[in-house]
A and B are shown apart, each in its own frame.
Chain A
């Protein structure tokens, strides 16, 4: 995300072509026709909004909230209501949400089953901590563990992806007795001290001590030096271990598809080779499923499954609760034991309301076959995007899997110069047409499409 990109108007034929074509990410029928598709109809009227307007909110935000907080769009959007894959602004205007609150809303905004679980449990008991027993946490842990392969069956609940990754990194360090952790350049794992170290994009890294992390060459098929040769990239891990560490490491952490980094799929063959090197050095393999998990990739429930590996620790958040503040770490009983050396306690983690919501989410994903939907609709959408790419030079790459898709815009296909300003213009245009989409990548030039998994072909 580029904070520094300005919102200048763009002129030039490139944008004119772009305006004609990119609407709803759908195809236009004829080259010269100006065709503005409408979002599919939706039989639902939002309740009237009587709260503060966008201007009032913006003013309060500037007064009372962090100055580093940013918004999308020239005219920031006041989103007041959500229903399944749609969001509504203060005027009741409906938008197709193709970003899902950053890959977070998986069942759909205010999905009735999830809302019911939340409301029922909130009326019963919001909070008591794990000092007392309560069945909500155990029911959810049971259901979650059953979704994971191998010996991954011990669950720790946290309140965010950052907390989950922090805990995973700490467990790896405790288990191995080593400090060094390897992560990938362009990764994003969180914003606390340890996870900031693992995160590897300068935009997100403050100038504070971040020790013990080594960043390996990113196996990026589009921009990486070795193209799609996964094994060549994996040699860098070997190198790092042999030359940058004592030869033994605490672990390796990666996202199966980099989210914040711009929906970058790891080159084929990379993870098995990397995991092998790390395990030889005594390290644990951590899979960050905060964005890729819960069926989003379509082909599998977890991102790591598409690479044919089984990690030692899996972290998750975002989609796990359809937007409720919840995160989790799942690992093996053997690794979980390290925490018995002292006490690890999370006051809010595993509270009845969030775990009830989490369980409802798993049930919805299963019952409504959301993973299959992600696969079918996602593949369809990707095909259409690829067709668009054939027509328009500005699209440098279309990638991703299921409903985790990226479209990278470049001003020069050969040099791959990021189209930083054009993308902002198009995003705004799309908003005007009623489609909300995300943005990411190190240069801020990649559209991130991570809608709620109930997205339909019509939406696509």
Chain B
């Protein structure tokens, strides 16, 4: 329960929506309850198990650590573009997108078509044989990257991508120490837990040499928006906490799980410089910010005017398909060639076909621009709300990655956990 509350109070992110999104919070009254925009689509009738039955089975078979939203958990059975439907056919506006994952829209016809067609032809053979989908997708993905970022590795999740990135950083640099930001989330496996810096997710196990630097959080950070001072902390860590040489630095440009926290402007440029001087590589975790979500740019790191050495991605890359990727430079990739690096499911025909379809949809439907338009409109309306309601401490983010922080006291910034729930 506490975990659930933490999650709720920390993040609220909007999915791609074409409509006005009205926010109503408990304790905040509005003249009349707004309605969802009309949507000319009827969901298929649902005859499967109901919420109570599903919940019971979950408790029995899926472990006590599995949590869910809402006092009365929602049984989601169908999705169409920006809407989800529950067991009784009720329509919901999905402003969370399965945690920033459904990028094109639930069951987007183009993506569906690609998945279905490929599933009928060949689901799986592995990369020991050739297949065109993985090559086509890699080429298209690499073309979206700046600089020398052109070698693609396919994996099955963001966690796997960050694991691989960390391995590359350590091998390439020959150093061990990794730097990550407090409040970051990079994965749930034993090693990525080390990079992750939110205690909710960190199990008490050895996590290797990781240094967590002060978070350049403009709202709560001790230096406000002053990137220089935050960057000094990084230098401090390197000089005093490491041998002077590090393996690498990893950051999300807008922290997702951590609450849509944008890094103070100019921060990454300064830090990348420090890290590279210490022999390390710079990793951009684009699992949530990638693929045009920020509106202004295709990749989150571009908003800070930097070019990383390794980029990791997942979530939106496949509109919900289990897919992740790491893109890096040939020099770093060559170091990986010392041994065999193989992923059985990674780059399988169906996920690659789905991924390629996603890239095409994003381009064809100009989703990045759309994120900028709708996102700025949304943020403006939220800021208006913020003027009227003290409970809203901060409105932040860009494009369709938006956060609203609720506080019971604007000066103290006391988290309004119960109110958010």
Contacts and interface: CB of A to CB of B under 8 A. Distances in A.
Interface of A: 1, 3, 47, 51-52, 54, 56-58, 60-61, 63-72, 76-82, 87, 101-102, 104-105, 109-110, 115, 118-119, 122-135, 137-139, 141-142, 145, 153-156, 158-163, 166-167, 169-170, 173-174, 179, 191-194, 202-209, 211-212, 317-318, 322-326, 333, 336-337, 339-351, 354
A323 B106 contact: no
Interface string B106-143: 11000010011001111111111111101110110010
Interface in B60-76: 60-69, 73-76
B30 interface: no
B79 A131 contact: no
Contacts of B271: none
A164 B167 CA distance: 19
Given A60-B136, A68-B336, A347-B157, A323 B201 contact: no
Contact of B320 (A127, A324, A343): A127
Interface in B29-63: 44, 48-49, 51, 53-55, 57-58, 60-63
Contacts of B253: none
Interface of B: 3, 44, 48-49, 51, 53-55, 57-58, 60-69, 73-79, 84, 96, 98-99, 101-102, 106-107, 112, 115-116, 119-132, 134-136, 138-139, 142, 150-153, 155-160, 163-164, 166-167, 170-171, 176, 188-191, 199-206, 208, 314-315, 319-323, 330, 333-334, 336-348, 350-351
A208 B119 contact: no
Contacts, number: 385
Contacts of B106: 125-127
A333 B139 CA distance: 45
Contacts of A81: 121-122
A138 B131 contact: no
Contacts of A326: 322
A207 B120 contact: no
Contacts of A68: 333, 336-342
B102 A127 contact: yes
A127 to B, nearest CB: 3
A218 B359 CA distance: 47
Given A65-B138, A130-B68, A170-B190, A125 B129 contact: no
Contacts of B321: 126-127, 348
Contacts of B139: 60, 63-64
Nearest to A165: B189
Nearest to B339: A206
A347 B160 contact: no
B355 to A, nearest CB: 12
B351 A325 contact: yes
A345 B201 contact: yes
B160 A134 contact: no
A196 B246 CA distance: 22
A244 B135 CA distance: 46
Given A127-B101, A163-B156, A346-B157, A336 B336 contact: no
B125 A205 contact: no
A251 to B, nearest CB: 13
Given A122-B112, A162-B160, A128 B189 contact: no
Given A124-B78, A142-B57, 18 more contacts: A61-B130, A68-B337, A68-B340, A82-B122, A87-B125, A119-B120, A125-B76, A133-B55, A153-B60, A179-B205, A193-B167, A193-B191, A206-B171, A206-B336, A208-B170, A337-B65, A345-B201, A347-B157
Contact of B120 (A115, A166, A346): A115
A200 B266 CA distance: 45
A414 B67 CA distance: 59
Closest 6 pairs (CB-CB, A-B) = A323-B124, A127-B320, A60-B135, A138-B57, A339-B65, A159-B156
A205 B51 contact: no
A351 B320 contact: yes
16 contacts: A1-B340, A60-B135, A76-B129, A79-B125, A102-B126, A129-B99, A130-B66, A138-B61, A163-B159, A167-B189, A174-B205, A193-B189, A204-B339, A326-B322, A348-B156, A354-B322
Most chain B CB within 10 A, of A56, A337, A343, is at: A343
A324 B123 contact: yes
B107 A123 contact: yes
A87 B125 CA distance: 9
A78 B127 CA distance: 10
A44 B205 CA distance: 54
A332 B75 CA distance: 26
B157 A159 contact: yes
A97 to B, nearest CB: 8
Contacts of B204: 174, 341
A268 to B, nearest CB: 29
Q: Which residue of A129, A141, A158 has the most chain B CB atoms within 10 A of its CB atom?
A: A129
Nearest to A134: B76
Contacts of B350: 324
A122 B116 contact: yes
Contacts of A128: 76, 79, 84, 98
A77 B167 CA distance: 30
Contact of A133 (B58, B160, B351): B58
A104 B343 CA distance: 12
Nearest to B52: A133
A116 B48 CA distance: 17
A177 B339 CA distance: 33
A298 to B, nearest CB: 22
A169 B347 CA distance: 26
A132 B106 CA distance: 15
Contacts of A67: 151, 330, 333-334, 336-337
Given A61-B135, A125-B76, A325-B351, A348 B322 contact: yes
